[in-house]
């Protein structure tokens, strides 16, 4: 079992970056390793090789297990400390697997629409160039 948690997310998405920086995980899980999915980090390549579409969801690696998309935000919500207004709100929303299942796809579509609107490429397009 490893210490801490690894979060692979879109570092060029302001919503994703704000979300992962808002989480209060260090108090509950120890070290937090944030990995930009657009980077050349080997864990990104490994996730993509495993068939995970990082344009569709973030990946969380914790206790040698992988959590993707809605399961990742659900896990993060249950692990994050309840301090802070926004952190407490996300915790209440995503701590329910049912709510995470309903809300996460809407957020993912909103992220894709925003990136198109501001002219940012997808992660997969960046990986092809």
Q: What is the mean pLDDT of residues 37-51?
A: 95
Domain ranges for the chain? 5-120
Strand order in the sheet with 59-62: 32-36, 5-9, 59-62, 65-68
- Res. 19 pLDDT band, cuts 50 70 90: confident
User: How far apart are alpha carbons 71 and 69 in whole angstroms?
Assistant: 5
Q: Which of 68, 9, 69, 19 is nearest to 44 (CA)?
A: 9
- Res. 1 pLDDT band, cuts 50 70 90: very low
Q: What is the mean pLDDT of residues 41-45?
A: 96
User: How far apart are alpha carbons 20 and 69 in whole angstroms?
Assistant: 13
Mean confidence (pLDDT) of the chain: 87
Q: Which of 16, 52, 63, 50 is nearest to 36 (CA)?
A: 16
The whole-number pLDDT of residue 114 equals 92
User: How far apart are alpha carbons 121 and 125 in whole angstroms?
Assistant: 6
């Amino acid at each position: 079992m490893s210490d801490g948690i690894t979060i692979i997310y879109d570092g060029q998405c302001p919503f994703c970056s704000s979300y992962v920086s808002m989480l209060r995980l260090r108090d509950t899980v120890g070290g937090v390793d944030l990995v930009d999915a657009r980077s050349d980090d080997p864990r990104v390549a490994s996730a993509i090789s495993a068939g995970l579409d990082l344009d569709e969801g973030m990946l969380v690696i914790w206790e040698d297990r992988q959590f993707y998309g809605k399961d990742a935000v659900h896990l993060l919500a249950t692990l994050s400390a309840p301090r802070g207004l926004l952190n407490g709100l996300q915790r209440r929303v995503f701590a329910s697997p049912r709510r995470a299942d309903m809300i996460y796809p809407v957020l993912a579509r909103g992220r894709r629409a925003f990136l198109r609107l501001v002219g940012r490429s997808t992660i997969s397009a960046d990986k092809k160039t």
